[in-house]
Amino acid sequence: MESFPQPTLTALLGQAVGDAFGAPFEFSPQAQRHAQTSLHQKRYLDAVHDVGSRIRFSRIPGLYTDDTQQALVLLRAWMDLENPNDAAAVALRFQSIITKMFDHWVKGSQTGVHRGTGRNFRDAIMFGGPTNSAGVGAAMRIGPISTCFDSIDELLPWVVTVSRVTTTHPLALTGAGMFAAFCQGTAQGKSMDTILAQLHAWNPPADLDRAWSLNLEALSILETRPEADLLIFAQATGAANKTLGCAASGFALTTVPWTIHHAQQGSFSDVMAAVSKSGGDTDTVCAMAGCLAALRLGRGAIPQWMQHGLKGRESIDNPMQWDPIHSEKILTEAEYQDQQQRQKNGSSSESTPIAPQSLPTIWEEVISEKPAPNSALKTEDEQKQQPRQTAASEPETSTPNVPAKGQLGLFD
């Protein structure tokens, strides 16, 4: 495989800039205002200087987070395998890569080279098996890779199998499938009505049938009714583990429909403003909406200031050369150094520049460990074992590189 198709690269760029756009004001009560400021001033906001976040959770403006990292991992797993249509093999490869990324020690990080991971994702790595989370983690990473499929009948079972590596919850699995279908259909130039007709015609496995119907109903609500009605509907299912304050809470049944709905109309900037107005998990909804909007509008519709200001752009433009350890370690270390510099200087808006690096062609040159075992298929008793000790937890004086959403323990 020499390169990914152009729609895949367009989707990945849209996701990365959306991710970086929404990251500074994630879970901010003033998210809508911050989004408008960013768009009006044509710059990525500074989480400390512009939003008022604590330095400990600051991010380098323009740097993507775990949403895009995991999308890159899926692309890497696809590229590494002779038969990427083998969903079980891709799932194991995905798990092997994210585990090695977690285990690779980086000063100041408790999650290796990962940035901004949610609690359930971390649990899936530490315990070696999926959680029963109804979060949006599976959906947030699936957009770019879905454009590699020609048929929705091949895509949907593949997405469900690959997503089971981190979650077993029917709403999370079907939410990922729905978002993947919209990305794949949009890449092929299909209308929303055509995609919806295909989704209604699909027969999911029996254990996912009710969740699939709930996702379709949730999406239909937003066609004519306000966000509040979607929250009432979702809360009534009893699947949410807390009261839903907004559609973009990270709960798959509300977040996926919210994202799809707002990605269908207006310019790229219009989409970013609209999807941010609910607040909540803004890096994720902006990443997903950016992915889908870029496929609908084309790469040229992404504002130039977003493209030029994106950190780690080399990997986004050429994911074939992206290295899960080396590429991300450079960025994660730069973020920690930026936090340390801010501690010394106060809440300055100036960030540490990230120097271009020459990346190894084969990422195994950097990682010498053996691949992770087939832990995605562990039994329930095996999943209950204590988390293993990792290099990521060795330094007792390290500062956690975990953002607010992981601490809030929502559905991610």
Per-residue pLDDT of 89-134, as tens digits, reads: 999 999 999 999 999 999 989 999 999 999 999 999 999 999 999 9
- Nearest-angstrom CA–CA distance, 369 and 276: 41
Rg of the chain on CA atoms, in Å:
19
Q: What is the pTM of this model?
A: 0.86
- Nearest-angstrom CA–CA distance, 130 and 383: 8
pLDDT over threshold 60, residue 388: no
Residue of 363 and 167 predicted with greater confidence = 167
Per-residue pLDDT of 194-240, as tens digits, reads: 999 999 999 999 999 999 999 999 999 999 999 999 999 999 999 98
| 8 A C-beta contact, residue 23 and residue 160 | no
- What is the domain partition of the chain in residue ranges? 6-408
pLDDT over threshold 50, residue 396: no
| 8 A C-beta contact, residue 361 and residue 76 | no
Which residue, 155, 156, 144, 170, is CA-closest to 77? Answer: 144
> What is the SS3 string spanning the chain?
CCCCCHHHHHHHHHHHHHHHHHHHHCCCCCHHHHHHHHHHHCCCCCHHHHHCCCHHHCCCCCECCHHHHHHHHHHHHHHHCCCCCCHHHHHHHHHHHHHHHHHCCCCCCCCCCCCCCCHHHHHHHHCCCCECCCECHHHHCCHHHHCCCCCHHHHHHHHHHHHCCCECCHHHHHHHHHHHHHHHHHHCCCCHHHHHHHHHHCCCCHHHHHHHHHHHHHHHHHHHCCHHHHHHHHHHCCCCCCCCCCCCCCEHHHHHHHHHHHCCCCCHHHHHHHHHCCCCCHHHHHHHHHHHHHHHHCHHHCCHHHHHHCECHHHHHCHHHCCCCHHHHHHHHHHHHHHHHHHHHCCCCCCCCCCCCCCCCCHHHCCCCCCCCCHHHCCHHHHCCCCCCCHHHCCCCCCCCCCHHHHHCCCC
- Report residue 351's pLDDT band, with 50, 70 and 90 as the boundaries: low
**Residue 106 dihedral angles phi and psi, to the nearest 5°:** -130, 130
CATH superfamily of 6-408: ADP-ribosylation/Crystallin J1 (1.10.4080.10)
- Nearest-angstrom CA–CA distance, 93 and 111: 19
Question: Both ends of the chain: CA-CA distance in Å?
Answer: 32
- Mean pLDDT, the chain, rounded, equals 87
